[in-house]
Chains A and B, each alone.
Chain A
Amino acid sequence: MKKIILFFVIAINLLQAQGIKIKGSDTVLALSQEEAEAYNKKSKANVSVTGGGTGVGLAALVDGTTDIAAASRRIKLEEKMKLQEAGKKFKEVVIARDALSVIVHPSNKVSQLTREQLEGIFTGKITNWKEVGGEDLKIVVYSRETSSGTYEFFKEIVLLRKNFSSSVLAMPATGAIVQSVSQTKGAIGYIGIAYLEKTIKPIKVSFNQGKTYVEPSVKTAKAGTYPILRPLYYYYLAKDESKVKPFIDFILSAQGQALAVQGGYISAK
């Protein structure tokens, strides 16, 4: 059974044109496509990009069906070990960064929260807005699905790896969170800052027990004062370095990074 699948995978791969293949995170997908398009035009190369998710991309890297795995989270230890078992050395490069903003309904009086308060809200210990200085209104927590890199990152940085409360509403996409928060009065959620709109209100956060609150913006993220900032990664095998390096160099060049900033991401450095 597995052999038959393997055979088809190999056959499909042989049919594809030789070029750089990128597979992985849907968060990084838009950026990869922009970069690949510009690079293909510039140096007549053939870079092809597909999504599927971070886990899918890294699994493809282990199987050797992609040259670059795009990831919106760091490689997990078990994935690292799988690569090691397969005897493959890999390299990691940060191609851009993405800031996450905590958002609420525009009518909400609360405009700043500490990390501890956010932890309380997302783990279900704080359930009413009046506990954090707002009106007497139940908090409706919107989160992403457990499979999303955004979810993992928010869990690690804001909840310090604790689990989200079971009663949070898990939405399939960032767009759905924006839509739901904009139409639910007691809502709170988190999204990439590229998705900020007028229909929702971003919250200032404090990661030092309330001494200073920082608003989410490209400026504060770049200055390093905004704390909820995640790197976006490319993973590739060390033996493929000569093949993929020119493309990665292009992304990290001034032109490539400008494209990232245009797309609402934060530059890699």
Chain B
Amino acid sequence: MLKKYIEKAQIIILAASSMITTITIFLIVIFLFTYGLEFFSNSAVEKGFDIAVHSSNPVSKLSPTQVQQIFDQEFISWNAVGGSNDSLEILHMEDLAIHYTEEQIGLEFEHMGTCISDYLSNHPNAITIIPKANIDPSFHGKIIQVSNLQLKDIFTTSKWFPTSKPVALFGILPMILGTLLVSFGAIILALPLGIATAIYMAEIMKPSWRKFIKPTIELLAGIPSVVFGFFGLVVIVPIIKDVFQLEVGETALAGSVILAIMALPTIITITEDALKNVPNAVREASLSLGASKWQTILHVVIPFAKNGINTATVLGIGRAIGETMAVLMVTGNSAIIPHSFLQPVRTIPATIAAELGEVSFGGTHFQALFALGCILFLFSMSITLYVNYISRPKHKI
């Protein structure tokens, strides 16, 4: 009787564990996507602010990129954005204190709107940013319509200025390409090396040697990624710089090399397990037919273990795509579209890790980083689904 209850309790505990795990994963995904999707409904101008010009200014619409170029002083005259030939004057809100006394602005900025309105009426070519709360009916200037953040701009432009004022630009194309490039390079380096090592270990190496080599490789998986990163910065980066005669050694290649080293244990361990699972009868059959050892490995053992090797490859890619710290330290993190392996690149995980710490919570930048997280999640998820697909049991032989 008691035994029956204990058994029931055990089953309940097991069920509860799996429920908790599943629910936790779902909650994390929901959390990620709630913040991430909010990003796409944002206006490009900083929350709570508007861009204002003098009421007689012919310009009434600007794209986020144009606003950024104006405030970066890339344009000298209004005609670059379809206005008059007069030169642009930029008023930064922080500079308001130069033109007006603290009393005029008010201790709590309550008169800021009046001051900006006054400044604009005296400076017909000025452009400024103004808090929405301070726009009252007496405001003389004209509010510029700035188009919202658009999916097209986010995914196809290459300007990543998340903290730029008053308009932040979030072109994530360089990051997506950077992530793919570094991971691709890593897998090109790691795959041949990893599979060759695994074959040697499983098929040829003496068991006494294997006892020593296998733990060593597994040890590699236990090294913290920041250690790999530092090793990369101090050792691999200078080597790449000297070998390829580059001005700068922090490149996609450096990231790929580090990631390849980090992905090796995964690839080797899983491939080796797959090879070890090939029944000895298959090998013996091949050998007894007169095939050499090499022929047996190439034509019998590897095809037999194909599923396992595929799984190893894809899991290795997964490890490479999600890696943060090591890549952050060696790839240089320039947000430019990469054209070769010998250029600095910026990856998605590195961006999230580097910027999340000091971002103001709940702001557009914060949501943008979550959106990047969502994209990374979709990458990893498709990889996992692909693993499931290729390693599904096959009934046909």
Which residues of A come within 8 Å of B, CB atoms? 1, 25-26, 52-56, 58-59, 76-79, 81, 84, 123, 137-138, 140, 145-149, 152, 161-163, 166-172, 176, 179-180, 183-187
Contact = CB atoms under 8 A, between A and B. Distances in A.
B162 A78 contact: no
Given A55-B357, A55-B358, A179-B233, A186 B247 contact: yes
Given A140-B248, A163-B164, A184-B249, A81 B131 contact: yes
Contacts of B344: 167, 169
Interface stretch (B9-17, B66-74, B115-123, B217-225): B66-74
A163 B279 CA distance: 62
A140 B133 CA distance: 43
Contacts, number: 117
Contact of A162 (B72, B233, B353): B72
A117 B164 CA distance: 21
18 contacts: A52-B357, A55-B358, A55-B359, A56-B358, A78-B48, A84-B108, A146-B354, A148-B358, A161-B92, A166-B334, A166-B335, A169-B334, A171-B333, A172-B333, A180-B237, A184-B247, A184-B248, A185-B247
B160 A166 contact: yes
A146 B71 contact: no
Interface of B: 31, 34, 46-48, 68, 71-73, 92-94, 108, 131, 133, 158-165, 174, 233-234, 237-238, 241, 247-250, 328-329, 332-336, 344, 346, 353-361, 363
A242 B34 CA distance: 40
Nearest to A123: B72
A163 B158 contact: no
Nearest to A26: B357
Nearest to B350: A172
A184 B361 CA distance: 36
A100 B359 CA distance: 22
Contacts of B333: 145, 169-172
Contacts of B48: 78, 81
A183 B238 contact: yes
Contacts of B247: 137-138, 140, 184-186
A58 B71 contact: no
Contacts of A145: 333, 354-355
B159 A58 contact: no
Contact of B360 (A76, A138, A166, A170): A76
A180 B336 CA distance: 19
A163 B68 contact: yes
Contacts of A1: 31, 34
